[in-house]
Amino acid sequence: MVAQPERRERRSGLRTERPRHSVAGLRQRFENLRAAGPVDDALVAGMLTVDVADAYRTVLLARDRAAARLHAVFGWSLYALARVIYGDGSHARRVLAAVTESMPDGGFRSPSDPSDAEVAEADLRGAQAEVEELRSLLTDSRRLSAAHIRGAPNPSTGRLEFGLPAQPLTRLRAIAEQQGLVESYRIWLIALRNQAAASLVEHAGWPVPEVAALARTTPEQVLAARPAVSTLHVTYADPGTVVELGEIIDSLNGRLYVIGELRVEAIRTLLRSGTPSRTVAAYGQISPSEVEALRPAPDPRIVNPWFGDLTVPARRSDARGRTRAHRAGHTRRT
């Protein structure tokens, strides 16, 4: 599958990188993960998404370079290129941005054979087919990643456990590690989502309020990401990317909430068992004061105004005195 595009590239004079992972290999990894169902280690599904996104960017660059050559050397209009790439000539503005960004400094080699125009067109259509295949796989892998992040209930308890060990201290340490990993991934994805949203504003002419609503964020967050748009390939961002990244972020938020509840439960279990606060704080990677704030309240004491504190055994003489006083008071009221 890879050899044919490489041969066309040599004939047309294009020098473009190939993806590090083949489409067939990525598809097989996806099918294996989907067949296994949600796993406790969501990192596996996350790495698949990263690899598919990397391959997608690579074929996008090849596709846009092929479009730029057709435009510069063979006179294809932006409208014609938009029809091939997007199926709609109204995207000519976005094609112009892609062609401008993909133009090499030294230009393209002049055609030397009458068949070069056909070869260049075949380059574009072949690269476009790869782009569409990998874009579809990227959507599928992002949805699968979101499902794995949400996790599956433990069959024996019916609760989300995320593969956490049962031993309390070890469990607390694993929770702290998961929280750190999930939070760092969430921060990175939020920045990437905002960057993709800002790219729609810059390169596709979307209104900021509309993009912000699509990203489920504020217009201020979209505008703040505009300086970072230059680091993102011009055609990488699309509305689907913004929505799909938002779905993964929602799944990460849900996982953080559940892990937070499990952490509180683990800390209180350890405190009830007499584990020192400093030990709990070290394993939970939080301060001792935060641990103390979660210390369970002591068991309530039942106090009766006639019998005093029921948690302390009363002497029989005291009990008789209180009983006589109670009867006397009752007689006066009646």
Q: Beta-carbon neighbour count of residue 290 at 10 Å?
A: 13
pLDDT over 70 for what percent of the chain?
Answer: 84
- pLDDT, mean of residues 202-224: 94
pLDDT grade, residue 136 (50/70/90)?
Answer: very high
What is the C-alpha to C-alpha distance for residues 56 and 73, in angstroms, rounded to an integer?
Answer: 26
Phi/psi at 199 (nearest 5 deg)? -65, -35
Antiparallel, parallel or unpaired: β 303-304 and 308-309: antiparallel
Domain ranges of the chain: 1-148, 153-297
- Give the contacts of 168 (CB within 8 A, at least 6 positions apart): 266, 269, 270, 273, 275
What is the C-alpha to C-alpha distance for residues 4 and 127, in angstroms, rounded to an integer?
Answer: 11
Q: What is residue 42's predicted lDDT score, i.e. its pLDDT?
A: 77
Q: Beta-carbon neighbour count of residue 99 at 10 Å?
A: 22
Q: What is residue 312's predicted lDDT score, i.e. its pLDDT?
A: 53
Residue type, 222: V
pLDDT tens, 252-261? 999 999 999 9
Q: What is residue 120's predicted lDDT score, i.e. its pLDDT?
A: 93
Higher pLDDT, 163 or 249: 249
pLDDT tens, 59-96? 999 999 999 999 999 999 999 999 999 998 888 888 99
- Give the contacts of 151 (CB within 8 A, at least 6 positions apart): 38, 40, 42, 160, 161, 162, 255, 258
The residue to which tokens 């990993």 are assigned: 181
Q: Beta-carbon neighbour count of residue 247 at 10 Å?
A: 16
